[in-house]
């Protein structure tokens, strides 16, 4: 009997042994061709494919979730300054006894800290809260800059031109405080707008919403062609859509055929698409369940991919209105000057479906 778990290669065996009786991955016979446990970034660093996401994991519960995850074999925690739980995450990591250098930590620069002089102090605060000297991956959380100290007041210049912010991130790499840098919530025009500059380090990842409802096949294709790794947040549809996701007939049918859970079907599908996946849970049994991914047979994978990409996309998250932005953050009408890429200054959004891309 062969199970193919994603995880740090050296811990796969022990993770298997630690599975509680009755754990949701019920151990059907699978072939040995498994999913990648890691992806290699341009720096040469290997980033684990499955992470525990801690957005919306509250104080008093996130620490236990992190400890459960590390015990189950996770070696990747995806956090951010704005989640306001970095202290508890850091404490749980220390309590777990897993050495710091065996765990991949991601954090993100919040929108109010895009001014070049604010970038390093913002990172330092995250480092201090996490209790670590370096972060494996630091992302610009949104392609939106707010004016320093303001209540979500747009800074149009730093939003249209993120290069000054990016140069500070590059400096943090050179100082050894950050190992890899990337972005989050960038669409293709915004990525091209940033990478048209003479970058010392290109974005290694772009963390975006990816799930059954908003699978973004065009962005995924573009990312693969441009050596950019995507990371899937809200991979199950977040708390708003998780129920619907796990009840989809296509997902349930695959779960039954493979004797795995619907959540494992979805999380496996993400890795099979070639993205990092960041399922969030504070429920111990689900944390364990979500780490057990398997390669779906091609036919079933293709069926699910087709179902996901055959309906108009719907985002779970779009803060454009709540931030009073005069444009939609996921469309390209925010004053971005897009460099020509063979089609004369295209100014369209990232998704072919963009007109239907509304907040859920």
Chain residues in the site for ligand A2P (CB under 6 A): 53, 234-239, 242, 246, 263, 279-283, 286, 289-290
* Structure-block tokens of residue 62: 């996130």
163 is catalytic: no
Nearest to ligand A2P of 106, 193 (CB atom): 106
State in angstroms the smallest separation of the CB of 134 from ligand A2P: 26
Q: Of 178 and 293, which CB lies nearer to ligand A2P in the complex structure?
A: 293
Strands 46-48 and 38-40: antiparallel
Cα gap 227→317, rounded to integer Å: 26
Catalytic residue among 74, 83, 212, 233: 83
The nearer residue to ligand A2P, 61 or 171, going by C-beta atoms, is 61
**Residues involved in catalysis:** 83
């Amino acid at each position: 009997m062969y199970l193919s778990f994603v995880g740090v290669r050296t811990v796969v065996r022990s993770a298997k042994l630690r599975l509680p009786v009755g754990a949701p991955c019920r151990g059907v016979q699978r072939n040995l061709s498994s999913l990648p446990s890691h992806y290699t970034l341009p720096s040469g660093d290997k980033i684990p494919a499955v992470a525990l996401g801690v957005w919306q994991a509250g104080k008093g519960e996130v620490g236990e979730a992190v400890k459960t995850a590390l015990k189950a074999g996770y070696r990747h925690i995806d956090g951010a300054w704005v989640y306001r739980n970095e202290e508890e995450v850091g404490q749980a990591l220390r309590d777990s006894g897993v050495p710091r250098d065996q765990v991949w930590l991601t954090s993100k620069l919040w929108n109010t800290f895009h001014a070049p002089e604010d970038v390093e102090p913002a990172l330092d605060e995250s480092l201090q809260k996490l209790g670590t000297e370096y972060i494996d991956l630091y992302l610009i959380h949104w392609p939106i800059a707010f004016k320093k100290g303001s209540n979500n007041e747009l800074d149009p210049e730093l939003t249209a031109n993120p290069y000054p912010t990016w140069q500070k991130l590059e400096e943090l790499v050179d100082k050894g405080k950050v190992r890899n840098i990337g972005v989050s919530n960038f669409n293709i025009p915004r990525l091209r707008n940033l990478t048209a500059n003479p970058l010392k380090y290109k974005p290694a990842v772009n963390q975006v919403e990816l799930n059954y409802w908003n699978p973004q096949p065009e962005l995924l294709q573009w990312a693969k062609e441009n050596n950019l790794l995507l990371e899937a947040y809200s991979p199950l549809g977040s708390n708003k859509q998780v129920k619907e996701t796990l009840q989809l007939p296509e997902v349930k049918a695959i779960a039954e055929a493979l004797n795995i859970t619907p959540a494992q079907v979805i999380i496996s599908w993400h890795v099979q698409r070639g993205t990092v996946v960041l399922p969030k849970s504070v429920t111990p049994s689900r944390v364990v369940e979500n780490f057990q991914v398997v390669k779906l047979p091609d036919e079933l994978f293709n069926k699910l991919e087709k179902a996901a990409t055959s309906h108009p996309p719907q985002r779970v998250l779009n803060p454009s209105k709540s931030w009073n932005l005069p444009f939609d953050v996921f469309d390209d009408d925010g004053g971005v000057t897009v460099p020509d890429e063979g089609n004369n200054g295209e100014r369209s959004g990232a998704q072919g479906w963009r007109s239907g891309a509304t907040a859920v």
